[in-house]
Structures are given as C-alpha cells and as structure tokens.
Structure 1
Amino acid sequence: MNLFIFGLGFSGRTIAERRTARGDRVTGTVRTQGKVQALAAADLSARVFGPDGRDSAIDADLANSDALLISVPPGPGGDPVLAAYARQIAAAPKLRWIGYLSTIGVYGDHQGAWVDEQTPATPTNIRSRERADAEQAWLAFGAANNIAVHVFRLAGIYGSGQSPLAQLARGTARRIIKPGQVFNRIHVEDIARVVDASLERPRAGAIYNVTDNEPAPPQDVVTFAASLCGVEPPPEIGLDDAGLTEMGRSFYAESKRVRNDLLRNELGVTLAYPTYREGLKALREADEGPR
C-alpha cells in the first residue's frame, strides 16, 4: 500500500512508522526543509508543505497513493489540503481511503455528560469550529468523488516524550483543579491501531471517537504519574490562579465523557492502553519520567 500523510507530527509520524514496519510505502509532509532532512535520517520520506513552499513531487505522490491521511489543522480559510490539492486528490486513480484526524473538541461542553458519535457537533471555540467545518468539507468531498472518507475524533494525545511523566521530568507538570472537570485521553500508539483497523475495514462517511475507556480529572493523572516515579506530585492550584493562556483555558472550558464503543464494536479494536494507568505504566517502564 502507498500511504501519503499530510502532517508528520506526533500522530502522523507514529502512524507512518507503524505502517512502514508493516511494509507499506509511506510519504508525508512537514513544514520546513530542515524537518525533511531530520526525517530522512530516520528513514522516513517527507515533502515540504508549509512556510518553505510546496514540493512539486506531492502531485506524483498523490497520483500513486492508495490511501491518504490528513493530520494538519485547518485555519480561518478552511482546510489547507483541500485548498491546495482537491483536484489532484479527486483525480488520483488508485485512492480508495481518506482519513481525517479531528478532535473530540467538536462536541463542545457537555458539563461532564457522556457523548458518542451520534451527539451533534456543537463546538464552542474557534479552533473546534474550524475542525467541525473541515470534517464536513472532507465528508462532502468524499461523497462527491466516490472516495471513502473517515473522520477520527481524537481525545487528548499522549505518548513517549509527551506525557505527564515527561512533564514531571522537565519540572512543568501542574495539578490544576477545576471541580467536576474530566477529560478523555488516547495513547498515540492506539491512534495508529485505529487507523490500521479502518484501513482494513473502510466505511464511507464513518466517524469514530478515538479515546480511552476512562475519562478522568486531569489532576488524578498527574498524581498517578508522580506515584509511578516515587516523587511528590506538584501542589494543587486553582484554575484562576494557573495563569493559563487563552488556549490553555479553552481546554478547561469544556468537560465531557466520550464513548468509544464504535471503534471497538465495528473496527474490532482492542486498545493497548485502555486507561491512562496502562499507558503511563508502559512509559515509565520505558524509563520516561524523573530519575
């Protein structure tokens, strides 16, 4: 299989590495030429799509792709991939599967109540509204061009180097308290598992919540991470005293519990890390966190 990934960030690169290990030919995009060279050292093929321009080879890559994954954020002008490459993607002769990595933020705030894929998207901030609009644009594009498009709504992503354990090691972990606040999370390796399963079982127009099984207060996760390391957790701090940026505060403006039954029942996915406990334990066993 030839897979092209727009956006070789944390999730995109993890998916690329997993698919490459399975024998797929994977190419993706990064924003600068320097990142192309860094990924080449890791045996990953990359093209520039960003501030340094657009690599002309992307057109040929798309023409030869069996599957396409979009892992770049939209902006005020809409989805940048559709804006730049809608014609080439529609004309790609072998393309049968498109995946779009979105966010559970499109559901907005539900004050801790449960939501699932049937819950209407009611985004409450600009970034989530742009995501919801991009979802609909890709779904409409797939329907118009007879290409199966799949939307993956991701919870808070963590993994090696991006976890409460890593934050404890850097001295940046905080226990911010907002009564009643809960989040879902998802280990980056489990995102890759879900993409694998969808590639094997495509369904045009599918939307999947890609989350763990246990939404939890954020301070509980930091406390558990500290316990794994045998260190004291950082002191509790109220939300109003945390000095968060506007973006940081926006995460605490929404509280919901997100169901993931569909990815388990339809795609047959068994999460390697069904809760933050398994995920953090595995990362700690890999020597992540303060020593």
Structure 2
Amino acid sequence: MTQQLFCFGLGFTARQIAADYPEWEVLGTSRTPPLDGETGEFSIFPFRRGSPIADFSNLARDVSHILLSIPPDDRGDPVYDEMREQIAGLPNLKWIGYLSTTGVYGDLGGDWVDEESPYNPTGKRGERRMQAEKAWRGLYETRGLPLHIFRLPGIYGPGRNQLVSLKNGKARRIVKPGQVFSRIHVADLAAILVASMQKPNPGAIYNVADDEPAPPQDVVSYAAELLGVVPPPLVDFEAADLSPMARSFYSDSKRVSNSKIKSELGISLKFPTYREGLAALLPGETRI
C-alpha cells in the first residue's frame, strides 16, 4: 500500500526521498518547480506565513507521515504558527519528522555531542531552532503528536558540494585552528528518515552526521585532488573576507556523535566520510 509523505519544504532532502523511495507518494510545499532531469514524482502546494494551505484537512486526509523542513523566521516557525491545528487533526498520522540543526548545541570547542547534550545555541539561527523544537515538543507532550527531531549538520549531495564550489570558483580553504564540522550526504539523510518512518519512536531525538567530523579546508583539498586541480590557497580565518553570516558558521566547533541512528535505527552509512561521498559524486559533476 502506498504511503503518503507530506513535506513542508519540499527541498533537497525531501526530493531525495522521492527519488530513492518510489514506494512513497510525496506531496509538499515548495517555492521552486522540479529541476530538469530530476527523478521522483511529487505534488506541490503553495504555502507561506499568512497564507496557510487551503483545505489541508481534506487534501491530506490520507497522509501518514509529515516532514517539517521550513526554517523558523524572526517570528517563529511558520508551519507551527499556521498549520499546527490542521496537522494535529489528521486521522492517519503516524510520524512527524522535524529537521532541526546541530546548531542548538552551540560551541563545544571541538568536543563531542550526543542527543543528551544540553541546549547552548550561540547565534540567532540556533536560538530559533531551539524555540521551534520546544514548540513542536509541546504538541508531542500535550497532544501525543508523533514527533521525531533530527538535528542536522551541513548537507551535501548532487549539485551541492565542494566539487561544484571548485568548479564555480567559490571554494575557499579557510583555516581556523581546532575548527571541525560534521556533515551528511543527502542520500544517507534520506535513508535515516525513512528508517525512522518505518520504526517510529515518538519523542525521539536523533543526531545526524557521518563518521568523521573534519576541518573544512580538508574537504576542499580532497575535492581538488579528485578533480586534479590545484586547491585554493589557505586563508587564515581572522584575515578572511567573510560575510557576517559566513563568519557566524565558524562560531561553533563540535563533533557530532551518530551512535544513536546506528544502534536504534540500524543505519549503515553508504557514505561514512566525505571521501566516499565526494568520490561517488565526481562522475555526475562537470570537471573543470
């Protein structure tokens, strides 16, 4: 029997699910149409703050799973604000996944975090995600909403990776001593979400990351090696010409444990490090 997944924010991750898991009927909201050559089938509906989805209770009456990936704004989570009552009233709902960020943990100076680590956001984005998590958890606690929270690092995959950045001349090797980031290939993220859908555990929180947190300049260097090009020069973080937003990403340094997705969901990563991930992406990216 076909199961219906409704995605608030039918973006990079949701479209990967549609491509990799054709047994799912995928519906969702999006500001952009499908890309040329994109695989997977899905239906798109308009949604924005102040304009909830018309007749959602009827069009989503058969929806069994919901994915929430629209980020909060300065007023809060727009899906929570506009759609929470309609979502809570769906008769066949078995699973809700909220895509949050590891930014809610803040800066750990390169130390490890797991799902029991406390909130400690250092910037506005992390603070907003923390508040959104708490809002959705409130519906789980008071109304039994089948909520699952996934805390994500940087996501990469086809068309969105350091191979492309090098090709476009946008890759930089910024060096900040002790800085490490975690990351996840979008295909592994899709597999993790589907594994959770198949084994619901309402109230659960999962960190999502591959096996090797790494300095960002190392990833650029490896991508350049795969392409057979000279990597861009190393640039000291303090001297780097970065936008305030780009600079803010370097405020947090931590290593994200992925033990729980393996022990509870039985995940075996297809791309356990950025090396396997970038090597697999190489044939599909245009060489310089």
TM-score, normalised with respect to structure 1? 0.93
Per-residue deviation, 1:53 = 4.3
Per-residue deviation, 1:10 = 1.3
1:36, 1:48 within 8 Å by CA — same for their partners in 2? no
In structure 2, C-alpha distance between the alignment counterparts of 1:234 and 1:185, rounded to whole Å: 21
SS at 2:85 equivalent: helix
In structure 1, C-alpha distance between the alignment counterparts of 2:193 and 2:184, rounded to whole Å: 13
| 2:277 is the counterpart of 1:279 | yes
In structure 2, C-alpha distance between the alignment counterparts of 1:96 and 1:279, rounded to whole Å: 32
In structure 1, C-alpha distance between the alignment counterparts of 2:120 and 2:34, rounded to whole Å: 40
The corresponding residue for 2:44 is 46
The corresponding residue for 2:287 is 290
The corresponding residue for 2:9 is 7
Per-residue deviation, 1:51 = 7.4
In structure 1, C-alpha distance between the alignment counterparts of 2:30 and 2:51, rounded to whole Å: 10
In structure 1, C-alpha distance between the alignment counterparts of 2:52 and 2:274, rounded to whole Å: 38
In structure 2, C-alpha distance between the alignment counterparts of 1:52 and 1:61, rounded to whole Å: 19
| 2:202 is the counterpart of 1:204 | yes
Where do 5+ consecutive residues of structure 1 fail to align? none
2:174, 2:234 within 8 Å by CA — same for their partners in 1? yes
Per-residue deviation, 1:238 = 1.4
Aligned CA distance change for structure 1 residues 120 and 244 (closer, same or farther; 3 Å): same
Per-residue deviation, 1:134 = 0.7
**Aligned AA for 2:26?**
V
The corresponding residue for 1:76 is 74
Per-residue deviation, 1:18 = 2.7
Per-residue deviation, 1:145 = 2.0
After the TM superposition, which residues 68-217 of structure 1 pair with which residues of structure 2 at under 5 Å, given as runs? Answer: 68-217=66-215
Per-residue deviation, 1:82 = 1.1
The corresponding residue for 1:270 is 268
Per-residue deviation, 1:14 = 1.4
The corresponding residue for 1:248 is 246
Please say which of residues 243-252 and 41-50 is displaced more in the overlay: 41-50
Q: Which runs of 4+ in 1 moved over 6 A?
A: none
**Aligned AA for 1:16?**
A
1:63, 1:91 within 8 Å by CA — same for their partners in 2? no
In structure 1, C-alpha distance between the alignment counterparts of 2:50 and 2:77, rounded to whole Å: 18
| 2:23 is the counterpart of 1:26 | no
Aligned CA distance change for structure 1 residues 60 and 17 (closer, same or farther; 3 Å): farther
In structure 2, C-alpha distance between the alignment counterparts of 1:264 and 1:183, rounded to whole Å: 20
2:220 pairs, out of 219, 222, 243, with: 222
Alignment size in residue pairs: 285
In structure 2, C-alpha distance between the alignment counterparts of 1:281 and 1:37, rounded to whole Å: 26
Alpha-carbon RMSD across the aligned residues, in angstroms, is: 1.9
Identity value in percent: 48
1:67 pairs, out of 61, 65, 68, with: 65
The corresponding residue for 1:17 is 19
1:74, 1:134 within 8 Å by CA — same for their partners in 2? yes
Query: CA offsets, 1:102-142, max 9 Å, x none?
Result: 11111000001111111001101011110011111111112
In structure 2, C-alpha distance between the alignment counterparts of 1:60 and 1:214, rounded to whole Å: 44
Per-residue deviation, 1:91 = 0.9
Where do 5+ consecutive residues of structure 2 fail to align? none
**Aligned AA for 1:227?**
E
**Aligned AA for 2:242?**
L
In structure 1, C-alpha distance between the alignment counterparts of 2:147 and 2:53, rounded to whole Å: 25
Query: CA offsets, 1:44-68, max 9 Å, x none?
Result: 2100112794442533233321011
Aligned CA distance change for structure 1 residues 115 and 140 (closer, same or farther; 3 Å): same
SS at 1:63 equivalent: coil
